[in-house]
Amino acid sequence: MPDDLSFGVEAGNIGEWMYMKALGFVFPNPEKTIRAVKRQGLKFVFFVLSGDSENKVTMLTDTNIAMYEQLLGGIIPSGTGGSWLKVCEVKNSMYMLKQASLPWHVAECDANPYKLQCPCKDAAHKGICKHCLATNYLKLLHNYHKLILIISTLLSNYLQALPGNKLPEITT
């Protein structure tokens, strides 16, 4: 018997339609469809609109997220008035993604470098979903942006430290 049973999803096997749906979360307004919320310690969770066409919630707000979290905690959200239909609307409006606590809790996939878990059906059936793809893309973009800022700051400090604030001559 093997000690470790692992499986993965090849990024090339993810359907083009899933990438196209993920782009729908990213463009033109990712702030309406994906929101990062800091939790205890340095952990973040990500709220992503479900993307279902019949969903009445079209953008994430603090109120929507608070109602969703109440529902996850087993509390009927106050904004629903106890209506089962409104409770279902809140439940179906978004998903909460989080980083897998253990590596085997999520399928290996190059398209999911942050090992995000999503409770949607696509993630359960295919090992990856449009919500994970979109959130990974935005996290990568954010990290590249931070890296560019760090490099530009270091370069700026280096240039200011040079005599006369000029680049040294390069001889070949």
Percent of the chain scoring above 90 in pLDDT: 26
Alpha helices (runs of H) in 36-101, residue ranges in sequence order: 62-72, 84-93
Q: Does 160 or 96 have the greater pLDDT score?
A: 96
How far, in Å, CA of 21 to CA of 147, rounded?
Answer: 28
- Radius of gyration (C-alpha) of the chain in whole angstroms: 21
Instruction: Say what the pLDDT of residue 42 is.
Output: 63
Q: What is the pLDDT of residues 132-146, one digit of tens each?
A: 999 999 988 888 888
Other C-beta atoms closer than 10 Å to the C-beta of 142 total 11
- Residue 119: what pLDDT? 92
Q: Please state the rounded mean pLDDT for residues 113-131.
A: 90
Evaluate whether 68 touches 90 at the Cβ level (below 8 Å): yes
Please, which pLDDT band fits residue 62 given cuts at 50, 70 and 90?
A: very high
If pLDDT is split at 50, 70 and 90, which confidence band does 129 have? Answer: very high
pTM, two decimal places: 0.76
**Taken in order 84, 89, 90, 92, is the CA torsion positive or negative?**
positive
| Mean pLDDT of the chain, nearest integer | 84
In the chain, where the domains are located: 14-163
pLDDT at residue number 141? 87
